[in-house]
Structure 1
Amino acid sequence: MIVYSATKREFIDDVRSNKIAEIIENEVLRKLNRNSPRSETLSWENSLQYMSQVLWDEDIPASAGVSIEYNLPMTNRRVDFILTGKDHNRNDSAVIIELKQWQEAKKTDKDAIVKTRFQHGEKETNHPSYQAWSYSALIEDYNETVRKESIRLQPCAYLHNMKSGDVLNDPFYSHHTGKAPVFISQDALKLSEFLKRHVKFGDSDNIMYRIEHGVIKPSKNLADALASMLNGNSEFLMIDEQKLVYETAISLAHIAQKEKKQTLIVKGGPGTGKSVVAINLLSELTKRDMLVQYVSKNAAPREVFKKKLTGSKKKTHIDQMFKGSGAYTEVEANQFGALLIDEAHRLNEKSGLYGNLGENQIKELILGSRFNVFFIDEAQRVTLQDIGNVETIKSWAQELESEVTELSLVSQFRCNGSDGYLSWVDNCLQIRETANQTLDDIDYDVQVFDDPNVLRAAIVDKNRLTNKARLVAGYCWDWNSKKDKSASDIVIPEYNFEAQWNLTEDGSLWMIAEKSVEQVGCIHTCQGLELDYIGVIIGDDFVIRDGIAVTNANNRSSNDRSIRGFKKLLKEAPEKARKVTDEIIKNTYRTLMTRGQKGCYLFCTDPETRDYFLQLAARKEETETTSEPYQDLELPIASFDNAMPYKTHVPIYDLYAAAGGFSEQQNLEECSWVELPDHINIKDDMFVMRVVGESMNRRIANGSWCLFRANPAGTRNGKIVLVQHREIEDPDHGGSYTIKLYHSEKTAIDGEQINTRITLKPDTNAFGYSPIILDNPEEDLTVIGEYLGVIG
């Protein structure tokens, strides 16, 4: 999605008329369904004024494309500014420009990380060159259209308020500035020169439209890429906060080995890359000769990772890399160099099968390592035994004299990068009220089914593609098949639906096991993992009554250990019991509904709840609108068979269909014909075409339908003509033809008058149109037609 798209000329006009910030603000509200804070609006006003000045250079074509706030594929990140056109060799080119308001920056000892001042104080962030390059690389990685059609991407950064670039251009960052140069306040002319090197001709082939609507390749799956990552390959490009967390962790790990113990708390919701950063750290810290382990309370991600690594490493090595959170009850202090605790919200107080070992898992993890990273999302606590929260971690770190650093991950890589979908889920489950009460403009496949059998069939169908679709449910049915292999578990009799919970033999590998799409999983077999599509059966533990979400732990199966102790707590503290279980039930469905990267399919056992989700999942009817090619023309249009060619009718051409190749028009029998007024003496060399742009607005208004005579003979000096030449481009539409006043200079050579220079002049009161001068006009110049007048 692009918030703002225009030509360079239109962009400059919007800036000069002081409309640009208001236009973008309105488009953000319309397309993204959010209001823009005043600080954001001011940044657009400021930065885009500077960009318009850079683009004033006449050698940057007026028909170059300008795109603002382009949504990176599969993420919630946006590119500030993109200039599109063609380079000197007429290759498609897009310059990605990261705009910054910074006035100064400080160097750090972390790769691609600098320190600068923001609204709420100074903090570390990505070097602008790294950010611009990573965005460019992400587009190229995800967008098959960019690769297959050889659209050349060139990143850079423009810090228009910064007076000194010494820090940003320090040799320490040269690896990144070499990929994406950085320009500061006094570099405006240098930036113009840079843009002209990559965009010499306009965007006549809708480059940004092709990028925006390009084919997006499927997202990588962490489990599938695991072996390659542990061998040191960069399978996932880390952007923004991911890069900052990774580099901060590397730095703190080294400090911890020599100086004071360190604890890093990383907060992040579903799909923000917590596990990706953890696995990258596991690989890098191991390479740096630290004793490091990946830790998770939930067995499912550990066992899936181990299975994926089978055959690439020794089993003993694999087992030592991945551990459960209860494995540290008897470790010595600082025995490990680093422990990476994923899904830290799932940590328990006690360990062991019967919950009778150790004192506190958080304490044991901090005590046992010099450096520990807790990746946490408190909204994914799904059992009464889960004690993982930020305050508890900080409390134990303080007691064990471990210095705490807190960071957050917000870049969304799951659910098609849609913050909107995650907010919609929270709103539906009434976890919090959000602005995303509908799915309008949310690029994520959500469907609500009236029949669980149809839901299952849809998931099975999606699974045929990549074996990455599964059906899950709230734990509202007993696990009968655990003892009786022939028994059914999830039974919904009114629909003749029966299914079994995940097989015992699959265990924690259910998400990747062959044919496991035939069973139903639960929170314990999918948390911490991801799929392409997830089907969710919402049971009677979550229902809607008169628009209000009502949760009832009593409607959960007695087999469900996640609420073990609920009845005792209900007797001792009923209000607390209801509050805690309400949170657990809602968090459970939130977690289940965010396992899919591409889509979530739903069925609710309760009819009123189903109607509620159907209503919230309904999207606006998208009526297909086709642009009438001859709109605003009151004269009758006919096909060849229904016209009287060159008697009452002449051909009419769509301007954009002619772009770059007017002389190769379609067969006359295939084009449309327009009936001319009676007073026009029709000749068989006439045609009609719309003129767009303001370059001839003293005589021809923008959008006028005009009559031309083809291939005019005789002198053309002083006439308005339609010409085509491979070395020109029209400033309004970027094509290799243009409509201008014709003026030629001739020289006698061997007694013959030869054109030595042709000037194509605009006739306009608009800003920025310049004559097109051809010093070697005899090569490839074609005068297509002479303008006769406006007909509509």
Structure 2
Amino acid sequence: MIVYSASKAEFVEHVKFNAIEKLIEEAVYKKLKRRTGKSEVQSWKNSLQYMFNILTDESIPASAGVAVEYNIPLTSRRVDFILTGKDRSRNDTAIIVELKQWSTAQVTEKDAIVKTYLNGGIQETNHPSYQAWSYSALIEDYNETVRDEHIGLRPCAYLHNMECGAAVNDSRYAEHTDRAPVFINSDAKKLSDFLKRYIKYGDTDDIMYRIEHGVIKPSKTLADSLASMLRGNREFILLDEQKLVYETALELSEKGRENPKQTLIVKGGPGTGKSVVAVNLLVEATNREMLAQFVSKNAAPREVFKTRLTGTMRKTHIDNLFRGSGGYTETESNRFDLLIVDEAHRLNEKSGLYGNLGENQIKELIKSSKTSIFFIDEDQRVTLSDIGTIGEIRDFARKLGSKVTVMELSSQFRCNGSDGYLAWVDHVLQIRQTANANLEGIDYDFRVFDDPNQLREVIEKKNRRANKARLVAGYCWDWNSKKNPEAYDIAIPEHGFKARWNLDKHGSKWLIAEDSISEIGCIHTCQGLELEYVGVILGDDFLIRDGVAVTNASKRSRSDRSVRGYKKMLKEDRESALAIADMIIKNTYRTLMTRGMKGCYIYSSDPETREYFRSVSRSWVEEKDDEMLLHALPYDVVDYEAARPYEGYVPLYDLQAAAGDFSEFQYPEESQWVHLPEHFHTKKGQFVVQVVGESMNKRIPNGAWCLFSDNPGGTRNGKIVLVQHRAIEDPDHGGSYTVKLYRSEKTFVDGDLVNQRVTLSPVTSSVGYADLVFDADDLDDLHVVGEFVAVLA
């Protein structure tokens, strides 16, 4: 998402007449649904005034594009300023400018870390050049359009208030300033020259729009990348707080080799990159010849990582890298250089199968290592035996003579980078009240289903692409299939729905097992891991009555050890027991509902609960067909009477209704119309349709809304077109039309150049799609309905 976009000429006018900060403030409220503080508005005004001074150079083309506050896909990080255009060779280029208000900076011994005045004091933070470069690299990693269409990204940083640049240009940061030069106040001419070096001509091809609406492929999950990471290739780019936590952890681990012992507590919610930082630390610590281990109470992440490593390392080496939290009861003091504890909120007091070993897992971990790092989210404590709290870690560190450092991760990578969705989950589960009372304006696919069979069908469809979608449920059904694999566990008779919990044969590898899609996972097999889409079945332990969340731990299965001891607690202190159980149940569903990076779909057998989630989500996609609504259309859709035809409005056609002859379907006055942004110069003959299927997924995502132009003229060779032919039976929708890359072979007949053969080719990473070839005899019936213009959403 881009908060503000314009041409250079428009941007200069907006700043010149003191309108820029107001325009951005209004755009932030409209697009992000949040008010902006005075200090942030003032920082926009100051920084953009300096960029205005740079852009008044007439050598920078007036038609260059300007974008302010661009949200990097799948994160909550924003790029301050982007200038787009073409270089001397007419290659598409986007210059990323990280703007800073800093007046001073200090050098540190940490890689890419400086000190400056932030939040009322001197703080450590990322070097601006590293920050600009990491944003650039992340965009390239996530955005297939940038890679495939060879859009060059050029990062830099501009510290316009800084008078002396000795610290930020210190030689120890040369690696980063070489990749992304840093400019201070007196470098205005150098910055101008830098911009002109890469932007010679204007943006005539909507470069920023293509970047914003390009094909987004999420970053690889930790499990997919661990093998190469352990060979020394850190595949994940560490952003902002992640980089600072990583460097600080390495510094503390070096100190911990001497005295005193070190303990680092890292707070972070779902998807903040805790596991990414943890594994990066494991890799680097091993490279530094430290004796280090990755520790988690939950076996699922460990087993997934081990499975991904099979064949690249000896099993004994893998087992020595990943350990359960109960394996340190007998370990000698300071045996390890570094213990990295993931999901520390899941730690228990006692260890062993029967809870009869050791004294306290937190104490044992700190005692066993010179440096211990605890990654923790107290809101993901999901059993009565979970004792992992920041207070407990502090107390034991103090008793064992370990110096404590506390840091926090806030950059979101789960749930499409949406802090808003995570806040909404907390709000609707009534964990805490937030400003996100509904999902309006939040880019996340959330749906409510009235039939669990439909939910299962959609999840199975999502899983076909990458084996990264699963059904999970609250632990409210007994695990009968554990002893009898033929038995069913989860039964919803009114819908004829039956399913099994994850089979014992898969164990903790359920999430990645190829044949486990028919099974249902629980909190214990998915916590700490990621999916693309998650389907959640809510049990009777969580109901809504008159708008109030009512939890009931007695509805949990007797097989569920997470509420073991609840009845005893209830007798001893009823009020306290009810409060703790309420927290456990809500945290469980919070965790389940935040496993999906792209979407979460839910079902509850209770109608009032379903209606509650439907009302608070206000998601229009829930009532539509799944295959046709994979993406929401973010523009106003109106009836013909309310539109201004082809003056910013174009008709919206339903291709599914065009299974016959598309030309017979085109009656604009009977269609709805879409209001497009101003930079689209709409004209008669243009229309919007939704393209379904994976045959063009390198250019057009499945379910994307696309703009087409009818009979634009000129050659169609090498262009993407919507075509119709009686012989076509598209594998994705069965219609006699399809969207493909058009290539023709021509020959001269009686002095005229005519088509001899036309080939329609998929542009896809998926298998099963073949070229469609039409020879001369078939070409009379081949109708090119429209030429692809752009992906809208």
Q: Secondary structure at the match of 2:486?
A: coil
The corresponding residue for 2:513 is: 513
Whole-Å Cα distance in 1 between the matches of residues 26 and 682 of structure 2?
31
1:624 corresponds, among 626, 633, 637, to 637
Which ranges of structure 1 fall in alignment gaps of 5 or more residues? 633-653, 659-666, 672-792
Name the counterpart of 2:21. Answer: 21
Structure 2, gaps ≥5 residues long? 621-632, 650-678, 684-708, 714-793
Output one character per residue of 1:607-642: Cα deviation in whole Å (capped at 9) or x when no partner: 10000111122236964367744589xxxxxxxxxx
Say if 2:423 and 2:434, in contact at 8 Å, map to a contact too.
yes
Give per-residue Cα distances to partners, 1:324-368, cap 9 Å, x unaligned.
100000111101000000000000011111111111100000001
What is the alpha-carbon distance in structure 2 between the residues aligned to residue 525 and residue 26 of structure 1? 44
Partner residue, 1:254: 254
Identity %: 65
Change beyond 3 A, Cα 1:434–1:233: same
Superposition RMSD in Å:
1.9
TM-score with structure 2 length normalisation? 0.79
- Partner AA of 2:43 in structure 1: S
How far apart are the structure 1 equivalents of 2:485 and 2:318? 32
Question: For residues 541 and 47 of structure 1, what CA distance do their matches in structure 2 show?
Answer: 52
Counterpart of 1:473 in structure 2 is 473
Task: Find the counterpart in structure 2 of residue 122 from structure 1.
Answer: 122
CA–CA separation in structure 2 for the residues paired with 1:325 and 1:17:
61
CA distance, structure 2, for counterparts of residue 397 and residue 668 of structure 1: 70
What per-residue deviation string (whole Å, max 9, x for no partner) do you get for residues 517-572 of structure 1?
11111000110111111110011111111111111111111111001111111111
8 Å contact 1:291–1:338 — kept in the other structure? yes
> How far apart, in 2, do the equivalents of 1:333 and 1:97 lie?
49
Deviation per residue, 1:692-724 (Å, 9 max, x gap):
xxxxxxxxxxxxxxxxxxxxxxxxxxxxxxxxx
Cα-to-partner distance string for 1:716-770 (whole Å, 9 max, x where unaligned): xxxxxxxxxxxxxxxxxxxxxxxxxxxxxxxxxxxxxxxxxxxxxxxxxxxxxxx
Paired with 1:361 and 1:37, the residues of 2 have a C-alpha distance of 44
Output the CA distance in 1 between the equivalents of 2:342 and 2:712.
64
Which position in structure 2 is the counterpart of 1:710?
A: none
Cα distance in 2 for residues equivalent to 1:557 and 1:62? 67
Structure 2 counterpart of 1:432: 432
Match status 1:137 vs 2:115: no
Counterpart for residue 190 of structure 1: 190
Give the aligned partner of residue 282 of structure 1: 282
Cα distance change of structure 1 residues 669 and 238 upon mapping to structure 2, 3 Å threshold: closer
Matched with 1:56 is: 56
Judging changes above 3 Å, is the alpha-carbon distance between structure 1 residues 630 and 354 closer, same or farther for their aligned structure 2 residues?
closer
| Equivalent residue runs for 1:72-87 within 5 Å | 72-87=72-87
Who is 1:451 aligned against?
451
State the match for 1:599 in structure 2: 599
The equivalences for 1:572-721 within 5 A come to: 572-619=572-619, 623-624=636-637, 628-629=645-646
Measured at CA, do residues 564 and 207 of structure 1 come closer, stay the same or move farther in structure 2, by a change above 3 Å? Answer: same
| Aligned match of 1:316 | 316
What secondary structure is seen at the aligned counterpart in 1 of 2:411? coil
Amino acid in structure 1 at the alignment position of 2:469: A
Read off the aligned partner of 2:637 and give its amino acid letter. Answer: E
Mapping for residues 264-303 of structure 1, pairs under 5 Å: 264-303=264-303
2:618 partner amino acid: A
Counterpart of 1:91 in structure 2 is 91
SS at match of 2:498: strand
The answer to whether the Cα contact below 8 Å between 2:21 and 2:45 also exists between their aligned partners in 1 is yes
CA distance in 2, matches of 1:313, 1:630: 62
CA contact under 8 A between 1:34 and 1:435: conserved in structure 2?
no
Q: Is 1:225–2:220 an aligned residue pair?
A: no
Report if aligned partners of 1:444, 1:599 keep a CA contact under 8 Å in 2.
yes
Shift of 1:49: 1.0
Residue of structure 1 in register with 2:348 after alignment: 348
State the partner residue of 1:420. Answer: 420
Tell me the residue number matched to 1:765.
none
Distance 1:347 1:119 in 2: 33
Contact 2:648 2:680 in 1 (8 A): no
In the TM superposition, what are the counterparts of 1:144-223 in structure 2 within 5 Å? 144-223=144-223
- Map Cα deviations across residues 173-205 of structure 1 (whole Å, 9 max, x no partner): 000000000000111121111111111211111
Partner of 1:4 in structure 2? 4
Contact 1:91/1:152, CA 8 A, preserved across alignment = yes
Aligned counterparts of 1:222 and 1:544: Cα–Cα separation in 2? 36
Question: Shift in Å at residue 657 of structure 1?
Answer: 8.6
Report the counterpart of residue 402 of structure 2 in structure 1: 402
How many residues align? The count is 642
1:91 partner amino acid: N
Q: Deviations over 1:53-89 (max 9, x none)?
A: 1111111111111100000011110000001111122
CA contact (8 A) 2:31 2:441 kept: yes
| Contact persistence 2:447–2:619 (CA under 8 A) | no
* Distance change >3 Å, CA 431–CA 631, structure 1 → 2: closer
Helix, strand or coil at the partner of 2:156: strand
| 8 Å contact kept, 2:646–2:682 | no
C-alpha displacement of 1:655: 11
Equivalent residue number for residue 570 of structure 1:
570
Shift of the 454–16 alpha-carbon distance from structure 1 to 2, 3 Å rule, reads same
Find the counterpart in structure 2 of residue 371 from structure 1.
371
Displacement of 1:224: 1.1
What amino acid is aligned across from residue 207 of structure 2 in structure 1? I
Between Structure 1 and Structure 2, whose CA radius of gyration is higher? 1
Offset, 1:234: 2.0
> C-alpha distance in 1, partners of 2:182/2:100?
10
- The one-letter code of the counterpart of 1:386 is D
8 Å CA contact retained: 1:71, 1:79: yes
Amino acid at match of 1:321: L
Deviation string for 1:669-696 (max 9, x for gaps)? 989xxxxxxxxxxxxxxxxxxxxxxxxx
Given that 1:426 and 1:433 are in contact with CA atoms closer than 8 Å, whether structure 2 keeps it comes out as: yes
Distance 2:648 2:75 in 1: 38
What's 1:677 paired with? none
Conservation of the 8 A alpha-carbon contact between 2:92 and 2:152: yes
1:242-261 CA distances to partner (integer Å, 9 max, x unpaired)? 11111111111111102311
Shift of 1:445: 1.3
> What's the offset of the Cα at 1:9?
1.6
For residue 517 of structure 2, give the secondary structure of its aligned residue in structure 1. Answer: helix
- Rounded to whole Å, the distance in 1 between the matches of 2:191 and 2:711 is 50
**Is contact 2:648-2:681 (8 Å) kept?**
no
Is the CA contact (8 Å cut-off) linking 2:273 and 2:409 kept in structure 1? Answer: yes
The aligned counterpart of 2:658 is: none
* Alpha carbons 2:141, 2:219 under 8 Å: kept: no
Provide the rounded CA distance (Å) in 2 between the counterparts of 1:73 and 1:668: 32
Contact map agreement 2:293 2:320 (CA 8 A) in 1? yes
Query: What SS is found at the alignment partner of 1:234?
Result: coil
Q: Once structures 1 and 2 are overlaid, which stretch shifts more, 279-288 or 616-625?
A: 616-625
Whichever residue aligns with residue 426 of structure 1, its letter is D
CA contact (8 A) 1:33 1:435 kept: no
Deviation per CA, 1:451-492, whole angstroms, max 9, x where unpaired?
001101111111111111111000011111122222211111
Moved more, 230-239 or 130-139: 230-239
Confirm or deny: 8 A CA contact 2:160 2:185 kept in the other structure.
yes
Partner SS state of residue 235, structure 1: coil
CA distance in 1, matches of 2:20, 2:43: 11
Q: CA deviation at 1:605?
A: 1.6
> Aligned to 1:323, what secondary structure does the other structure show?
strand
Distance 1:631 1:169, change over 3 A: closer
What is aligned with 1:333?
333
